Amino acid sequence: MNKRAPELTYHVLQPAMHEKILVRAAELVATGWTRGTAARDARGQKVRSTAPQATAWCVVGARWIAHCTSC
């Protein structure tokens, strides 16, 4: 059995966790928004949403990084 299953179930069932992720994603998009890629750096180059140099995110990229950093 997957040892992470109880932890994942806990997070899925917690509305407060969903709210925390969505609020953080909204904060990221408010600091910089892009489209056509998950994230961009300060020069407008495509980067991964988890890249430290990311300064702008699409909604999906922002939600992903918010989720990755909330657990």
More confident residue, 7 or 69: 69
CA separation for the pair 8, 67 (Å, rounded) = 12
Domain boundaries, given as residue ranges, for the chain: 17-70
What are the tens digits of pLDDT across the range 2-59? 565 666 666 566 888 889 999 999 999 999 999 999 999 999 999 999 999 999 999 9
Q: What pLDDT does residue 5 have?
A: 61
Query: Exposed, middle or buried by CB within 10 Å (0-12, 13-18, 19+), for 44?
Result: exposed
Torsion, Cα of 27, 31, 36, 37 (10° steps): -80
Per-residue pLDDT at 71 exceeds 80: no
Tokens coding 5: 């299953």
| Half-sphere exposure for 33 (CA within 13 Å, toward CB) | 5
Per-residue pLDDT at 65 exceeds 80: yes
